[in-house]
Amino acid sequence: MQKKFLSCDWGTSSFRLRLADAMSASVLIETSNEKGVAAINNEWMQSQKKSRELFFKDFLFSQIEKISQTGLSYIPIVISGMASSSIGMKEISYGKTPFDITDDKLPVEHIPADENFQHDILLVSGLRTEKDVMRGEETMLLGCNTNDDEQLLIFPGTHSKHVIVKNKVLVDFKTYMTGEIFDLLATKSILSKSVIKNENDSNSFEAGIKDSMKSDLLNSIFHVRTNQLFKKLSEEENYHYLSGLLIGSELKQAAESHQNILLVSSGKLAMFYQRALNIMCPDRNVLYQDADNALIKGQCALAKQYLPS
């Protein structure tokens, strides 16, 4: 395949496009925004002057122009995430589990370049179990440092995924709506009057983690309200306390298990999950892998498998 490719991570509420070096799995240039597939799908439904696929391609082309360099035309694109969903560019069915990371292949669709869009597209679908689905994390999984032991891989996010891998085979996974529930509680519920978003972390996050370990979530989240009423915590501190309660509740089962844990995350979210795991299972050797790096590595593997040289 070509030495460079365009890496696209297209989620429900976010978009990121990067020019990547396939040999070193490094990022050369990138652009990102909040134009996730939900927003583009809504725009398409309001206009419908062209096909869904063409509408999504037009937006994609506008983003390619932002990172355009000499010779960028005809460079292939690997797209992971929600672009292969029912509200994305083109719906592709989920692959099934168990999924052998070494031998099995993810469901993909190759959309050839044409005179109007001069880039081959590799659209990647996700995986499903009898009760759950994922799109995006399966690509990161391909780029993770899994081993022959039983591992629990944690992918934090709006809809966090906890993935069980045994002998390099994905055998099961669960979704935790941690990020979405936090947003709903902090902006739409009665608790919204008791929290103020801020970047100044405090010990209240750790207090929330510890309280989550010994209480029921549906009861403990109301303490965010009483923290303010009784002037125990400020609205700013309450913001991090609520975060601690929800992240701690998500991680409770993982902390009680005996599986090796690999945390796959980036940025501040990784820091919060690392702190939570250190508190909840201090004697465990929790490994860490950068999610951005895992995604690029996974897409590199897919590009080598499917895209023409």
User: Which pLDDT band holds residue 282 (cuts at 50, 70, 90)?
Assistant: very high
210-233 pLDDT, tens per residue? 999 999 999 999 999 999 999 999
* pLDDT exceeds cutoff 90 at 18: yes
> What span, in angstroms and rounded, lies between the C-alpha atoms of 174 and 291?
18
Dist CA 72 CA 17 (whole Å): 13
Q: Tokens 């109007």 label which residue?
A: 116
pTM for the full model? 0.94
With 90 as the cut, is the pLDDT of residue 7 above it?
Answer: yes
Give the per-residue pLDDT at 24: 87
Domains, the chain, in order of start with CATH, read 4-147+291-306 (3.30.420.300), 178-290 (3.30.420.310)
Q: Distances from the Cα of 188 to the Cαs of 2, 13, 185, 191, 298, in angstroms?
A: 48, 18, 6, 8, 37
- Label residue 199 by pLDDT band (50, 70, 90): confident
| Per-residue model confidence as pLDDT tens digits over 69-107 | 656 788 999 999 999 999 999 999 999 999 999 999 999
**Predicted pLDDT at 71:** 63
Compute the distance between CA of residue 25 and CA of residue 142 in angstroms, rounded to an integer. Answer: 13
What per-residue confidence (pLDDT) applies to 308? 66
140: tokens are 């990161």
User: What average pLDDT does range 27-32 have in this prediction?
Assistant: 93
Residue with tokens 């696209």: 8
Chain mean pLDDT for the chain: 94
Rounded-to-integer distance, Cα 297 and Cα 141, Å? 9
First CA to last CA distance, the chain: 4
Task: Look up residue 136 and give its DSSP letter.
Answer: S
* DSSP conformational letter for 53: H
The Cα-based distances of 243 to 166, 192, 224, 249 in angstroms read 31, 13, 10, 10
